[in-house]
Structure 1
Amino acid sequence: MMHHHRRRRVPFARAAAAVGAILLAVVLPAGPAAAHDSTTSAYAEIERLGSEVTVELELEYDLLMKSAWLYAEAYEATDPAEQLRQLTGNADAVDEYVTERFAVDADDSRCLLERGDAPDLRQRNDRAFAVLSYVAECRGGEPGTLAVSSALFPDIEGFVHDTETLVSWDLDGARGSGMLDAGAPTIELDATAPQFGAFFVLGAEHLLLGLDHVLFLVALLLGARSIRGVVLNARMFTVAHSVTFLLAGMGLVNVPAAIVEPVIALSIVAAAAAALSRRETAARWRPPVVFAFGLLHGLGFASALGIDEGWSWELLSSLIAFNLGIEAVQLVLIAIAFPLLVLLRRTAAAGPAILIAAVLVGAAGLFWFVERVIAGVSAMA
């Protein structure tokens, strides 16, 4: 009897080990689940029209208020009206923090940033961002070559790490875009050649750190029965998210994050449930369903880039580089996970392992769905 009992337990032990191997191989490269909470992006838009240079910055509200060393009542505020009141009332402290860490130079001479329009708020990915406007007073009248530098939210402050500042500019009609980080804190705006490599890395990082996107891919792999199925589903997902990503990134499509983010979470639940189905109808309907959900994931990718200008070749190049970074990481994850799944399906532990993995992935998606719905309702209240 004891021997029989031990034999019944072996498949489940193997299943647990197999699940751990698959999830560790795929999810560990994506970093911790709290990656979105430990990093941030800043957004800067520079415009020059003749002799006038204006700067608009978007900085995560609570992080800005913490970094400016304001009281808890300022950075803990969640009501938009209260946040705007705190932002306006503490404008001097906020300006001091920002102007010490963000600079505009004209012909190698530092410009003085004077406060412009009143501060405002904007929602990005269900987070409040402070919108700060400045007028750059540069020496010598009409500015020549412009450069911007950013040391906003450095690692040394201890609140976040690896801050990236996405910069877009319009210099008398000449547009461009680039990215600043600790390794490259300055960019010359007249150099309109896009930073292809920087946006490629940014796209790769976004997929790696976006655990919801990673788990959606895991669920697709769990449901795949052959390499042909993997390629087909990956192709559907790639085409779909590329279409909406490019359209949304150029400002042609705009769907609120309060809608997109919960549905992305729901797509994880649906993909996990589909992975457990062995019916032929499920296999037949999987590619179009993956395509539909891929359209939503593309909107989620676009919101991370934060560029919503009109058409320009510089913008298109940045979007393509960002998207290629996403695709490169997606292919790497598939190359790691699918061989493990092939080996797993040849063992007796395959059924329990896939069941456990699908349940865990689906539970994570369901949790995120409820969390994001509640956050969206709270934001509208």
Structure 2
Amino acid sequence: MKLETIKVKRFKALYDVELKRLPKFGVFIGANGSGKTTLFEVFGFLRDCLVTNVRAALQRRGGYKEVVSRGCEEDGIYIELQFRMPIATVERLVTYSVSIKLEDGRPVVAEERLKYKRAAFGSPFNFLMFRNGSGFAIENEEDFDRPDEELTREFQELESSDILAIKGLGQFQRFKAASAFRQLIEKWHLSDFHINEARKTQEAGYAEHLSPNGENLALVAQFMYENHRDRFDLVLKKMTQRVPGVKEVEAVETEDGRIVLRFQDGSFKDPFISRYVSDGTIKMFAYLLLLHDPAPHPLLCIEEPENQLYPSLMIELAEEFRGYAERGGQVLVSTHSPDLLNRIDLDEIYWLSKSEGRTIIRRASENEQLASLIAEGDLPGTLWKQGAFPEIDPS
């Protein structure tokens, strides 16, 4: 599955934005405070709504009034995603939308829909529609020989009006699109990597996937070493090529039952534990483990990967992101690195700016001047430093 379109209304500074034809690898640039983090937060918000409920997801962000755009409390928050998925052997464009409002001082799911076209022509058909905690879902959605009026509607009443319908219905395979979309959201990875968390020793345990803040780095390294040795060896090979001196990395269990990472420098006899290794070394190792995960996340969001990394490494990291996308994941990255941007196609670049407190998102390939300069041989990162992206420089 691949996200095709994102439409957001009245979510913080994202008053009314729409991104169409999303690439498998997209890069977002803009000044501090332009809305890059807020855009990625939309994905985290949806996942929190699914895992818990709308009220809890809002409370984690300061409450409804802190999340809805200023002056839009009555209109509420609206999020719409379009993604492609196979249904009955045909790739279909599925649209999911959710509207969140206040009712008697409580946040509720005012409306939730999941729809797609049953045939090549005609309007998209609602296979799931709920309002304020009650609604229906179509059971036999893959029975395309039946007319719309003969499809079986299963009516449901949710426990609470702040719960997403896909949370419950998505657990049942008979609701194909709802189940697939639920799994898509659950597997999103929104990287919020913290060096200090990754340095910590871990209780002996088990972890297959790197957590958002990276605190289970040692456990994931151990898992990959023991279960996917070929991938771990590839990660180690790339580490030796990109970080001077690194010869080997291993996850070791201590006498008190904890797991620590040890980095072997070729110039020294004894290895260094992660606590005494540079920030950039830890971060590059974490990114390589994440990007060589045997089960890629359908969506990977990474903010400012250039922090703590030497500029020339961004060129190779850009290729790693692209490789991950080509293997089946979708990668969205925000950056302030011209070096990374120089490795990105113009159609993969978006730039964000603000006007009257509201975020504006533009696609670089739709700017004629930028397209002309790139066609003449200029590089996006160089043009960015020269101020060729309109309204991006806050000064």
Q: Which has the higher helix share?
A: 1
Q: Same fold (TM over 0.5)?
A: no
Q: Which has the higher strand share?
A: 2
Scaled by the length of structure 2, what TM-score is found? Answer: 0.23
If asked which structure has higher relative contact order (CA below 8 Å, sep 6+), I would say 1
Scaled by the length of structure 1, what TM-score is found? Answer: 0.24
